[in-house]
Chain A
Amino acid sequence: MFGQFDFGVITRNLPYLIKVGMAFTIELTILVIVLGIVFGTLLAMMRLSSIKVLSAFATAYINLMRSVPLVLVIFWFYFLVPYIGAWIIRSPTPVRVGAFLSSVITYSMFEAAYYAEIMRAGIQSIPRGQVWAGYALGLNYWQTMARIVLPQAFRNMVPILLTQTIVMFQDTSLVYVLSITDFLGAASKIAERDGRYVEMYIFAAVVYFVICVVISFLVRRLQRRIAIIR
């Protein structure tokens, strides 16, 4: 059945697919995991704060980000950030941000909203007594969060953080709307150039599948290693 297919197109173009396409996808994913979880955790703490202004801001931000499609946010940021940047530094011309930086900012801001909701659930899963114990020993709010609440919240939430991260990893392919060449973009270009659509899209699907399976496996191992002994 695969007689008329030429899977050699994959091996011939592997360096391009990996070095250009996959490198971008992985770089973006890793940066967004780190920035998204950091901002998301801060947003979660703001949302749970007793300071009304903070919690109102965080709630509004999270709800807004979660109710618009990712592609729309990508467009917004790509076209707006240069003007916002110009306005901030009082430059008469739009600031050149570049597609990579723009996508890192966009995805981090967007994913932060989702990570925030996960971390909020994680923080709320920690019994109040743990916070009391931290305070009673003289720890302040930040110390109690950093040393007692967040390490436990994070451990409890690893499976859901993983799910969100896999969704995000796949969503990075949407950067094609900014004409950035990520892994899927690279595969498409080869497919179009060589007229080998079926081969390239099968290959892309297999690669995404394998990476997701490997990430899940590694995270499960990590989870076992850091599990809280009860």
Chain B
Amino acid sequence: MAMIEIRDVSKWYGSFQVLTDCTTSVEKGEVIVVCGPSGSGKSTLIKAVNALEPVQKGEIFVDGVRVNDPKTNLPKLRARVGMVFQHFELFPHLTVRQNLSLAQALVLGRPQQEADERGLKYLDRVGLIDQKDKFPGQLSGGQQQRVAIARALSMDPICMLFDEPTSALDPEMINEVLEVMQKLATEGMTMMVVTHEMGFANRVANRVIFMDAGHIVEDASKAEFFGKPRSERAQQFLAKILHH
């Protein structure tokens, strides 16, 4: 079974359907990019993978564990799935060091010192070791997002979910985050990335999923997607996003 399996997933907000029969999968070591116009359901889909958004129909598996099963121990599962958010979501009342170690100590039961060392190791990897005693509010957006990535990595995740990680960043900060993500991909991390960064998709992705109005319209290899997408909707989207 694939690392992430999404089968026939549908979701409604009241009578409004946000996801319609979405089916896809992410193999171990694979990087897939999910793109599409805003409101197409891509953020909802990625949040369904670790059950931050419940779904009403279909099945989602992560590493063989069914996510939308009431019997699943969700905290235990989520601890193994790293997630990076559009607005970073560092904890503003904690220092960078505390942000990195909190869940390791609380959820994985690592001794504080081990959690600290591990967190700082990843902080060093994203190039921010000097910032360890600062508060998130003292960092730039790009720095905050790199800390958020380090925070997710220090839990030793089996896969990583990125929900528009660069959408809230100033243009000059986008690259520093993308570089960290690209490095992670080359190290073999399984990644599902919602993004509009088509350059990143072109360099890093194995597959691209295009969503529109809650449907997965296109699920193609990178070459196929950028060469000639099958659906007209994806062609229009690509034309707009690549030639502006």
* A53 located at the interface, meaning its Cβ lies under 8 Å from any Cβ of chain B in the complex: no
- Counting chain A residues whose Cβ lies within 8 A of the other chain, the interface size class is 20 to 34
What is the interface of chain A mostly: helix, strand, loop, or mixed? helix
User: Using Cβ atoms and an 8 Å threshold, which residues of chain A touch B89?
Assistant: 127, 129-130, 132-133
Q: Chain A nearest CB: distance from B86 CB in Å? A: 8
Which candidate, B31-39, B100-108, B208-216, B232-240, is the interface stretch facing chain A? B100-108
Contact A143 B135 (CB under 8 A): no
Contact A152 B78 (CB under 8 A): no
Q: Chain B nearest CB: distance from A7 CB in Å? A: 48
Contact B78 A229 (CB under 8 A): no
Contact B93 A138 (CB under 8 A): no
Q: What's the Cα separation between A136 and B91 when bound, in Å? A: 13
Residues from 153 to 177 in B contacting A, C-beta threshold 8 Å = 155
User: Using Cβ atoms and an 8 Å threshold, which residues of chain A touch B85?
Assistant: 129, 132-133, 136
User: Using Cβ atoms and an 8 Å threshold, which residues of chain A touch B93?
Assistant: 151-152, 155, 228
Contact B87 A139 (CB under 8 A): no
* B50 located at the interface, meaning its Cβ lies under 8 Å from any Cβ of chain A in the complex: yes
Which of these, B76, B83, B87, B137, contacts A136 with CB under 8 Å?
B83
Beta-carbon nearest neighbor of B81 in chain A: A136
Q: What's the Cα separation between A151 and B102 when bound, in Å? A: 14
User: Using Cβ atoms and an 8 Å threshold, which residues of chain A touch B241?
Assistant: none
Q: What's the Cα separation between A228 and B93 when bound, in Å? A: 5
* B64 located at the interface, meaning its Cβ lies under 8 Å from any Cβ of chain A in the complex: no
Contact B138 A229 (CB under 8 A): yes
- Counting chain B residues whose Cβ lies within 8 A of the other chain, the interface size class is 20 to 34
Q: Chain A nearest CB: distance from B201 CB in Å? A: 23
In the complex, per-residue mask of A111-154: 1 if CB is within 8 Å of any chain B CB, else 0: 00000000000000001011011011111100100011001100
User: Using Cβ atoms and an 8 Å threshold, which residues of chain A touch B138?
Assistant: 229
* A230 located at the interface, meaning its Cβ lies under 8 Å from any Cβ of chain B in the complex: yes
Contact B151 A129 (CB under 8 A): no
User: Using Cβ atoms and an 8 Å threshold, which residues of chain A touch B74?
Assistant: 135
Q: What's the Cα separation between A152 and B90 when bound, in Å? A: 12
Which of these, B47, B75, B79, B91, contacts A148 with CB under 8 Å?
B91
* B1 located at the interface, meaning its Cβ lies under 8 Å from any Cβ of chain A in the complex: no
Which of these, A133, A138, A229, A230, contacts B91 with CB under 8 Å?
A133
Contact B103 A139 (CB under 8 A): yes
Q: Chain A nearest CB: distance from B46 CB in Å? A: 11
Which of these, B87, B92, B107, contacts A152 with CB under 8 Å?
B92
User: Using Cβ atoms and an 8 Å threshold, which residues of chain A touch B50?
Assistant: 135-136
6 tightest A-B CB contacts, nearest first: A138-B79, A133-B89, A137-B103, A138-B107, A136-B83, A230-B137
Measured CB to CB, the residues of A under 8 A from B are 127, 129-130, 132-133, 135-140, 143, 147-148, 151-152, 155, 228-230
Q: List 18 A-B contacts (CB under 8 A).
A: A129-B85, A129-B89, A132-B47, A132-B52, A132-B85, A133-B85, A135-B78, A136-B81, A137-B151, A138-B75, A138-B107, A143-B106, A152-B91, A152-B93, A228-B135, A228-B137, A229-B138, A230-B92
